[in-house]
Amino acid sequence: MLPVDSVLRPLFSVFCFFLLFFCLSTPLAAKNDDMSHYQGKLEKLQKSIARIQQHLKGSKKQRNHVMTELKQLEAEISKNARKLQKLEKDIAVIEKQKKSLKKELNQLNQAIERQRTVFAEQIRTAYSMGHQQNLKLLLNQQDPAQVGRTQVYFQYLNRARQQQIEQFMQLLEQKHQAETKLEQTLTTRRKLLHEQKAERHKRQQQRLQRQKLLAELGEKIKNQENTLSSLESSRNRIEDLLKSLGELLADIPSSPSEKLPFASLKGKLPWPVRGRFLHRFGQAKNVGELKWNGVLIQADFGTPVRVISHGQVAFSDWLQGFGFITIVDHGDGYMSLYGHNETLLKQTGDWVVAGEVIATAGDSGGQPQSGVYFEIRERGKPVNPAKWCSSKARHPHPEQTL
């Protein structure tokens, strides 16, 4: 997209030129021109300034909104980072607990296996001793009460060992349940960690987008402020120009009455310079829907630029978009313009005759190559110069040099 000032600047230049032609399109000797009419044209520029100010206000409001969003995103990213840190810490603790629990489970399994081994050995010993005691009782006439007490003792030990094994088994089951619970908690924490990382990535992408938009808005605001400054400066220049033109219109006398009316010269006028046409009347420009109001003729630097007919110089100075220009009033609402000159040889108020050199060709106003921009206007409206000028026509004073 083109920057705002790159679009408005050419539009403004055309407007300035249009306003200037309206100011000069009536005979310079008409002392009763209604300057308030042209003041209305200036009001259009005021409206353009107001419109740019409104756009600028909207852009700044949008920038503030984006800055608020960016602040919220950064707060969410910070909060997300704290959550991630806590989750990672929780996972580390659970991993440590899980490792410790596995160690305890291994120790319990080993203890149970040892108890089972001892228990089995006790059972075998008790069984073996029970048979031996019966033989001793029969062969050695051993006291039966002593034998009974021994068997009861072994039974007590066996029951105690069995109870201990059962307690170990219960503890082992509890540890397994704790391990399962830890694994579930760990899975949940890992899932949350993954979700938080995805959320962080999303927020970071949103922050980058907001930062990019903020930079674009900053550039847009800068361009709008520059455009506004340019429009305000141009407004001041036009106000000064209107004031000067008002004084000029009151002081400059009428054009000589013995000259032929400009309208009678249609199709018989010579071109201001001879050269190749770079742009023709009505041809589309590269900016918006603008079209060329005149022709651009290629000419080398310093080529003499000749006025097409007698008249009085109404404007001779630099104008944005046209460089150094000379505007000649031919009377009866007809005017001609010669732009992008290198040098201006006539001043405002000077009388000129057909074929007189009024400027030299150049590239002022930012043109990529040397040439002359030429327009004819009838009561402020551009007309096709090709219908007025002919390549067969010759200037009455071709011998004049700089």
**Two tokens, residue 315:** 């404007």
Q: What are phi and psi of 347, to 5 degrees?
A: -110, 160
Residue 271 · residue 297 · CB < 8 Å: yes
Same domain, 97 and 235: yes
Q: How many domains does the chain have?
A: 2
Average pLDDT (331-348) is 93
| Mean pLDDT score across all residues of the chain | 77
pLDDT of residue 254: 47
Q: Which helix (H) or strand (E) holds 65?
A: helix 35-139
CATH number at residue 336: 2.70.70.10
Average pLDDT (49-74) is 84
Same domain, 231 and 92: yes
CATH number at residue 157: 1.10.287.950
Give the Cα separation of 136 and 154 in Å (integer): 18
Last residue of a domain, one of 225, 251, 277: 251
pLDDT of residue 13: 54
Same domain, 206 and 322: no
Average pLDDT (52-70) is 85
Same domain, 207 and 93: yes
Residue 188 · residue 16 · CB < 8 Å: no
More confident residue, 104 or 62: 62
pLDDT tens for 122-154 read 667 656 655 555 555 445 545 556 656 666 766
Q: Per the domain annotation, does 8 fall within a domain?
A: no
Q: Per the domain annotation, does 11 fall within a domain?
A: no
Q: Per the domain annotation, does 15 fall within a domain?
A: no
Same domain, 402 and 316: yes
Q: Per the domain annotation, does 282 fall within a domain?
A: yes
Same domain, 212 and 281: no
Same domain, 244 and 261: no
Last residue of a domain, one of 192, 220, 251: 251
Which of the residue ranges 22-31, 233-242, 315-324, 343-352 has the most confident prediction, judged by mean pLDDT? 343-352
pLDDT tens for 253-283 read 444 444 689 999 999 999 999 999 999 999 9
pLDDT tens for 148-181 read 666 676 677 777 767 777 877 787 787 788 778 8
Same domain, 51 and 190: yes
Band (pLDDT 50/70/90 cuts) for residue 328 is: very high
pLDDT tens for 73-126 read 778 888 888 888 888 888 888 788 878 877 877 877 787 777 677 767 766 765
Query: Could you tell me the end-to-end alpha-carbon distance of the chain, in angstroms, rounded to an integer?
Result: 46
Residue 114 · residue 132 · CB < 8 Å: no
Same domain, 245 and 262: no
Same domain, 230 and 271: no
pLDDT above 60: residue 15: no
Average pLDDT (48-77) is 83
Average pLDDT (31-56) is 67
Q: What are phi and psi of 360, to 5 degrees?
A: -125, 145
Same domain, 346 and 300: yes
User: How far from the centroid of its chain's Cα atoms is residue 132's Cα?
Assistant: 102
Show contacts of 397-401: CB within 8 Å, 24+ apart.
397/306, 397/353, 397/354, 397/355, 397/356, 398/355, 400/304, 400/306, 400/355, 400/356, 400/357, 401/304, 401/357
Q: Per the domain annotation, does 169 fall within a domain?
A: yes
pLDDT of residue 210: 80
Same domain, 172 and 280: no
Domain assignment of residue 170, given as a range:
30-251
pTM comes to: 0.45
pLDDT above 90: residue 44: no
Last residue of a domain, one of 199, 230, 251: 251
